[in-house]
Amino acid sequence: MIRTPGPHALSKAAKKYKAREREPAEAESLTTRAYSVLEEMICTLQLPPGTPVSEAELSSQLGIGRTPVREAMQRLARERLLLVLPRRGCIVTPIRPDEEVMLIETRRAIETLVMETAAARASDSERRQFGEIAARMKTALRTQDFDAFAQLDAEFNRLCVAACKNELVGSMMQVIAPLNRRFWFTHHGRTLSKEGVEAHIEIAFALSRGDARAALSGTERLLRYVESRIGQSGVTA
C-alpha cells in the first residue's frame, strides 16, 4: 500500500538527492539533472501519487535554478508524470486503472513492432548481447538482486531500440518508459516477480536467436502478466 504523501515528502526526497555525490556539472545540463532527479523520485514512488510539487521548493532543495526546474517539470507534465492544476500548481499524477490499461495497449502496439524488427535486424554483436543479458537476468532472479535486474532491464530496453533500427519507434519507447517504471514500482516495489522476470528472459533469449515468433510470444506473456496486476496496488491519491 502506498501511503498518502505527507506535506514534507518533496523536501525529504529532494534533500536525499542533493546529498548524493554527482558527476561534474558539465556532464549534464541543469535541466537534464533536474529532470533525472524528479523523474527518479516519481517513478520509484519516493514522491507518491498526489504529492504537491513546488517549483520554488524543488529549486531550493536541489540547488538548481528555477528555470531548469520549470523546464524539467514541463517535460514531466508532457510525459504524464506531473499534473498541472490551474491556479493550484502541480501534483504527481494520480495512478488510475484506466490509464494503466491505456499504457498496456500502447506498449502492446509499440513492443510488437520493436520485437519483430529487432529479431530481424539485430547484428551478430547485438544478438550476443541479448544472450548475455538473458543469462545475467537469470542470475539476478536467482539471487533476488533487484538493482542488478533494474540495470539489466535498462540495458535490454536500450539494446532493443538500437537493434530495431527505427528511430521513431525508439522515441516512442522512451516516452512511455517512465510510466512503465512507475507501474513496476507501484505493483512490486523493489522486489522481483518470477513471472515478469522470466518473461523478460524468454524475450531476450529469443532475440539472441533472431526468433521473432518466440520474442512476440514472450512479449505477450509479459503484457498479460502486467494486465493481471492492474488495480491490485492499493494506491490512493
List the chain domain ranges.
Answer: 9-92, 97-228
Residue 61 grid cell? 532543495
Q: How far is CA 82 from CA 3, 41, 130, 180, in A?
A: 18, 12, 34, 15
> Residue 50's pLDDT band (boundaries 50, 70, 90)?
very high
Q: How far is CA 71 from CA 38, 58, 179, in A?
A: 12, 12, 19
Task: Considering only residues 11 and 98, tell me which one the structure prediction assigns the higher pLDDT.
Answer: 98
CATH 1.20.120.530 is right for the domain spanning 97-228? yes
Phi, psi (deg, nearest 5) at residue 84: -90, 125
Model pLDDT for residues 95-152, shown as the tens digit of each residue: 888 988 999 999 999 999 999 999 999 999 999 999 999 999 999 999 999 999 999 9
**What does pTM read for this prediction?**
0.77
Q: Under DSSP, is residue 209 helix (H, G, I), strand (E, B) or coil?
A: helix
Find cell 533494474 and name the residue.
150
pLDDT of residue 214: 98
pLDDT of residue 17: 58
> Residue 83's pLDDT band (boundaries 50, 70, 90)?
very high
> Residue 42's pLDDT band (boundaries 50, 70, 90)?
very high
Q: What fold is seen in the domain 9-92?
A: Arc Repressor Mutant, subunit A (1.10.10)
| CB contact at 8 A, 50 and 94 | yes
Q: Under DSSP, is residue 89 helix (H, G, I), strand (E, B) or coil?
A: strand
Which is nearest to 174 in space by CA: 64, 75, 37, 96? 75
